């Protein structure tokens, strides 16, 4: 499933990471030789984690469709574990929670792997939505019932349904783009994550005006505008590896970087409400899987549907 | 013990530990003490049969090798599989909770294990807590152990969320993240009465409940 374009993109990302690692080491030698500067230490931890994430993604691309589907099924599992740790549920929900992890999640990815679009696009919003509350109701506890079932459904929508739209891109059929769908995934993740990184960089350099001071102290208008525009510019420059014309690529990049920003905002609101800073601890420097994936999760379904609607024949 | 049994015990231990990680992604917060290989008695809240597995899993390997859970003989010797897991996989110090049936004094057994250089994991509530209260009243074992070996660090460990992963009576665990908070060690004062010490130990454990 490798194509020359994918190798170019991976080589480019590898180059960026080599540069970032060198800069991180220089900053550490100058400013934090004994590990005393937490910002520098966090930056280096983030860069190291990026290496691991990029290598995992590259290995999945090499393994082909099964590899990519499996990787995102595992990401969904880790994300769902983080999300449901913070939601309201009691003993009566035990079986519905077990079903979320061991029935609904595998089924969603199974429908995806068998390319059953009619099923995977409604399975969680319709079937899980209607049947899961029944499992909780049968156990008889009514306390906070609506809150419990809504939060569980939200967790499934975000962590399983939306996340599964990343590998779903592999199953679109775009005339003239056959065998290269993996580029769509690499492109989506690259542009959205680049936008995250650039929003962070622009925000640290110029950030003054907070977008939503109650939600997140690190999201500024300067970071938002600088990050989305520069990521859009870089994404547009890469239009030649996508099915899009330059103008279309610019529109798509703007769409997914904005959705990515909204994802970060909404997920911050949830974290703030539950009194936590990070969703988890498994990705050193970044926090949890959801901290890293929130923007991609929000961008993926929209990117998938617009691409399918305009360019795909299926 | 034959080589094959040792190998089987090692593999089973690794498998149980990996499964526990997969389900709970345990996070160890060392708040009042460092994870260094000193002899210690870890005392924790007890809400699930998985408690000691999780605590054991959360310890770094060199510490884990020298740490033995203290477990109920009347539970762990009821079937050959449990006996294999209790005795050989986790190398548990098996104590009898039934005073009328036991032939050995639990405190003497634990003291003997400490004298061999092991660290211990104990649950001073003496049984699983499925009540609404955070902790059940501590049994006196912790006090007697502290009196017998006053130099050993008693480390409080709060295990959060495991009761939601596997509520009493359920068979399949729900994957949720568990946090283990290790607090500053306590010791019994030379003339501290039993109740005062147990109250202090309870206090030290409860103080770890709110995440930092």
In sign, the C-alpha dihedral spanning A298, A299, A304, A305 is positive
Whether residues B25 and A91 touch (CB distance < 8 A) is answered with no
State the Cα–Cα distance between residues B111 and B90, nearest whole angstrom: 18
* Cβ-based burial of B15 (10 A; exposed 0-12, middle 13-18, buried ≥19): exposed
Q: What angle do CA B78, B96, B144 make, to 5 degrees?
A: 155
Query: For residue A122, which phi and psi values (nearest 5 degrees)?
Result: -125, -5
Residue of A nearest to B161 (CA): A85
Are A261 and A295 spatial neighbours (Cβ–Cβ below 8 Å)? yes
What are the structural domain ranges in chain A? 1-63, 65-171, 175-314
The Cβ of residue A108 has, within 10 Å, a number of other Cβ atoms equal to 22
Residue given tokens 């409604």 in the structure block: A122
pLDDT band at B212 (very low <50, low <70, confident <90, very high): very low
Smallest CA-to-CA distance from A253 within A276, A279, A234, A273 is with A234
Are B153 and B32 spatial neighbours (Cβ–Cβ below 8 Å)? no
Query: For residue A89, which phi and psi values (nearest 5 degrees)?
Result: -155, 160
Selected for mutation to probe chain B from A90, A94, A290 (highest B CB count within 10 Å) is A94
State the Cα–Cα distance between residues B91 and B195, nearest whole angstrom: 31
Whether residues A81 and B170 touch (CB distance < 8 A) is answered with no
The structural domains of chain B, ordered by start, are: 3-206 (3.40.1130.10)
pLDDT in tens, A203-260: 988 878 888 888 877 888 999 999 999 999 999 999 999 999 999 999 999 999 999 9
Tokens read off for B212: 């930092």
From A86's Cα to the closest Cα of chain B, the distance in A is 9
pLDDT band at A2 (very low <50, low <70, confident <90, very high): low
Find the range with the poorest average confidence among A34-38, A180-184, B145-149, B187-191. A34-38
Which chain A residues are within 8 Å of B27, Cβ to Cβ?
A: 281
pLDDT beyond 90 at A301: yes
Separation of first and last alpha carbons in chain B:
44
pLDDT at B211: 58
Residue of B nearest to A287 (CA): B27
pLDDT at A112: 95
3-class secondary structure, B208: coil
Torsion of CA A236, A241, A245, A250, to 10 degrees: -20
From B28's Cα to the closest Cα of chain A, the distance in A is 10
Q: What are the contacts of A308-312 at 24+ separation with CB within 8 A?
A: A308/A172, A311/A172, A311/A174, A311/A177, A311/A243, A311/A244, A312/A172, A312/A173, A312/A174
Are A270 and A158 spatial neighbours (Cβ–Cβ below 8 Å)? no
Which chain B residues are within 8 Å of A85, Cβ to Cβ?
A: 161, 176-177
pLDDT beyond 70 at B50: yes
pLDDT band at B99 (very low <50, low <70, confident <90, very high): confident
pLDDT in tens, A5-40: 888 889 999 999 999 999 999 998 888 788 788 888
What's the average model confidence in pLDDT over A85-97?
90
The Cβ of residue B133 has, within 10 Å, a number of other Cβ atoms equal to 7
From B173's Cα to the closest Cα of chain A, the distance in A is 7
From B174's Cα to the closest Cα of chain A, the distance in A is 5
Smallest CA-to-CA distance from A300 within A206, A161, A180, A114 is with A161
Q: How many CA atoms lie within 13 Å of A13's alpha carbon, on the beta-carbon side?
A: 24
Whether residues B174 and A80 touch (CB distance < 8 A) is answered with no
Find the range with the poorest average confidence among A3-12, A116-125, A235-244, B136-145. A3-12
State the Cα–Cα distance between residues A121 and A302, nearest whole angstrom: 13
Whether residues A91 and B167 touch (CB distance < 8 A) is answered with yes
Burial B156-193 (b: 16+ CB within 10 A, else e): bbbbbbbbbbbbeeeeebbbbbbbbbbbebbebeeeee
pLDDT band at B1 (very low <50, low <70, confident <90, very high): low
Tokens read off for A212: 């939503």
pLDDT beyond 90 at A261: yes
State the Cα–Cα distance between residues A292 and A178, nearest whole angstrom: 30
Whether residues B176 and A280 touch (CB distance < 8 A) is answered with no
Residue of A nearest to B166 (CA): A94
Q: What angle do CA B156, B160, B166 make, to 5 degrees?
A: 125
Which chain B residues are within 8 Å of A78, Cβ to Cβ?
A: 25
DSSP β-ladder status, B27-30 and B179-182: parallel
Q: Which residues contact A135 (CB under 8 A, 6 or more apart)?
A: A95, A96, A99
State the Cα–Cα distance between residues A85 and A291, nearest whole angstrom: 14
Q: Which residues contact A101 (CB under 8 A, 6 or more apart)?
A: A77, A80, A81, B174, B175
pLDDT beyond 80 at B210: no
* Residues belonging to chain B: 212
Looking at the partner chain, which of B27, B170, B176 has a beta carbon nearest the beta carbon of A84?
B176
What's the average model confidence in pLDDT over B93-112?
88
Tokens read off for B144: 């007697």
Tokens read off for B73: 């003989």
pLDDT at A165: 97
Q: What angle do CA A267, A273, A278 make, to 5 degrees?
A: 55
Looking at the partner chain, which of A94, A97, A281 has a beta carbon nearest the beta carbon of B27?
A281
Smallest CA-to-CA distance from A232 within A182, A189, A181, A194 is with A194
3-class secondary structure, B156: strand
């Amino acid at each position: 499933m490798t194509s020359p374009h994918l190798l170019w993109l991976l080589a480019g990302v590898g180059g960026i990471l080599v540069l970032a690692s060198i800069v991180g080491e220089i900053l550490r030698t100058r400013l934090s030789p004994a590990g005393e500067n937490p910002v520098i230490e966090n930056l280096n931890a983030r860069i190291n984690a990026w290496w691991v994430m990029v290598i995992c993604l590259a290995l999945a691309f090499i393994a082909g469709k099964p590899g990519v589907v499996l990787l995102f099924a595992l990401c969904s599992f880790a994300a769902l574990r983080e999300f449901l740790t913070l939601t309201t549920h009691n003993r009566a929900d035990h079986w519905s929670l077990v079903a979320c992890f061991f029935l609904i999640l595998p089924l969603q990815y199974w429908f995806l792997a068998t390319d059953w679009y009619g099923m995977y696009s409604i399975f969680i919003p319709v079937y899980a939505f209607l049947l899961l509350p029944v499992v909780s109701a049968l156990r008889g506890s009514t306390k906070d019932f609506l809150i419990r079932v809504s939060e569980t459904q939200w967790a499934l929508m975000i962590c399983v349904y939306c996340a599964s739209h990343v590998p779903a891109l592999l199953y679109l059929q775009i005339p003239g783009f056959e065998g290269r769908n993996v580029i769509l995934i690499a492109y989506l993740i690259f542009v959205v994550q680049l936008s995250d990184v650039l929003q962070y960089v622009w925000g640290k350099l110029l950030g003054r005006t907070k977008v939503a001071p109650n939600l997140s102290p690190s999201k500024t208008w300067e970071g938002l505008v600088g990050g989305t525009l520069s990521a859009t510019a870089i994404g547009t420059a890469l239009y030649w590896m996508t099915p899009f014309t330059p103008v279309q690529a610019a529109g798509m990049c703007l769409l997914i970087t904005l959705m990515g920003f909204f994802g970060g905002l909404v997920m911050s609101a949830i974290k703030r409400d539950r009194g936590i800073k990070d969703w988890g601890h498994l990705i050193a420097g970044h926090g949890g899987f959801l901290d890293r994936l929130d923007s991609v999760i929000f961008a993926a379904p929209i990117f998938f549907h617009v691409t399918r609607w305009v360019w795909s024949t299926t | 013990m034959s080589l094959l049994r040792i190998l089987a015990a090692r593999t089973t231990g690794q498998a149980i530990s990996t499964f526990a990680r997969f389900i709970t992604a345990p996070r160890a917060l060392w708040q009042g003490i460092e994870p260094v290989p000193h002899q210690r008695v870890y005392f924790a809240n007890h809400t699930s049969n998985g408690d000691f597995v999780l605590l054991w899993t959360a310890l770094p390997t060199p510490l884990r090798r020298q740490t033995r859970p203290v477990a109920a003989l009347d539970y762990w010797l009821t079937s050959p599989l449990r006996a294999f897991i209790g005795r050989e996989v986790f190398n548990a110090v098996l104590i009898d909770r039934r005073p009328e049936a036991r032939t050995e004094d639990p405190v003497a057994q634990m003291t003997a294990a400490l004298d061999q250089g092991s660290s211990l994991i104990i649950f001073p509530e003496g049984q699983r807590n499925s009540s609404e209260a955070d902790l059940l009243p501590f049994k006196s074992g912790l006090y007697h152990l502290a009196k017998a070996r006053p130099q050993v660090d008693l480390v409080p460990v709060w295990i959060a969320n495991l009761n939601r992963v596997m509520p009493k009576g359920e068979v399949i665990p729900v994957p949720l993240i568990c946090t283990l908070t290790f607090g500053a060690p306590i010791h019994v004062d030379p003339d501290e009465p039993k109740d005062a010490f147990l109250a202090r130990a309870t206090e030290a454990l409860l103080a770890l409940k709110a995440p930092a």
